[in-house]
Structure 1
Amino acid sequence: MVSFRELRDKYQIPRVKKIKLGWWGRYILNPPSVVIAQLLMPFRITPNQITVVWLLMGLAGGILFSFGDYWKSIIAALIFQLTIVFDGVDGLIARYKKLSSPSGEYFESVTHTLVHDIFIVVGITFGAYNQTGNILMFALGFSMVISLLLHKFLFLEKIHLFVKNKLFSKVKKTQKKIKIHKSHLTLLKKIYDSTFFLYVGISLINFVTIAAIFKRLDILLWFYGLTFPIIIAALLFFEIYRGYGWVSELFK
């Protein structure tokens, strides 16, 4: 059986450093990923099968959140924490068994969107409504889920246009735009980099967990539903003016 240290040092830590999970992800959630992957290695389990597992876990967590019941919400929050753990498991198995593939990465990316953008927000929206009876929870939840999806769309659409319109030769021209608005863009980028971690991934799930513990899913929705659109609007402005230089780096 492959050792814990080999899996961690060779197949996990380089990836963790690259995607910057923070101390909670690196020291609390990732060690269990290594242990589970180590236990599953002898079996004929594929990365996609693990991805299906945490996809179903996310769906179950969203359903549990929707009731608005305290203990169901606590269980749901723990389930979403576990989705991060199993997200690490499928990657470890894929890298160790050399089963990584474009289709597998695509499936995992779609699963991320479903679980961490849609299932969790829809669940806490219905849960907050059932806790408070305030119909505004649906508007705030809609604002939050649309903002999460727009965040991905703004980046993916730029990559799509870069490839579709063959902009390799035009990159230098678009980069000149950055100099015109350099001070403004630098400020926007600093604001984005220093605050956006609050809105996605592990940080979002941690805040959802805290809200579930204190039975205040409504406050969570008020915060994200009102502030997230502002962040997305700033990001849109930033992407319009900074050109395609960063996209070209992806294709080198």
Structure 2
Amino acid sequence: MENIKGKVIAITGASSGIGEAIARHLSGLGAKVVLGARRLAKLETIANDIVNKGGQVVYKKLDVTQPDDVKDFVNFAIGEFNTIDVFINNAGLMPLSMINAYKVDEWHKMIDVNIKGVLHGIAAALPVFEEKDSGQFINITSVGDRWVGPTSTVYSATKFAVRAISEGLRQEVSDNIRVTIVAPGATESELAETISDPELKKVAIEQFRVNLLPAEAIARAVAYAISQPSEVDVNELVVRPTAQKAY
């Protein structure tokens, strides 16, 4: 696939699920990938596998809720590969709950990771992109960025916010910096594991975590957005399982 080979691509939340799939797929297409997540041992395992397959990869422990951590992550990428071409804001949480369960701590965690984490990524990478007047942000949202239902209120609110941030960013940056959101439908990942209510987790898995897309499908969508010519900005990609009709 054109326009990917040799690019330096930083990925948050890269230790499992969609982030891991993106890292593996882009590396296979010749990108130099920089992996960040809290679980260092998992990053090491993924990186070793990528290296064994001939890919170029480095990794660093990363907490996207800490702006200095994200700046260090970007500086690390530049130190290893001299530049950064694409920043993928993928880290996210989905502890679904009804509003009247009053899980305020979980609301704050979602806001910190799903919204502030994206803003921290933008604040860290945008100066690099502006200095060289090129680059691309890819923000992984969810079909929840345009749909809300019982239990998803706060989660969807965070994804609506990222969609708004992405559109505003697109309008504010130079003509040579691209901004894309990729909104997955039901996809294989560990997101359901962040639901703290055992009964709700069971219902979510049984009713909504069925007919799942493989995470590789989202990785292919990301690759498609990156591979376009520099004058083409794919702003939104919504990727659902064919059988997913209700949301």
The question of a shared fold, defined as TM-score above 0.5 by the shorter chain, is answered with: no
Q: TM-score, normalised to structure 2's length? A: 0.31
Higher-Rg member (1/2)? 1
Q: TM-score, normalised to structure 1's length? A: 0.31
Q: Which has the higher strand share?
A: 2
Q: Which has the higher helix share?
A: 1
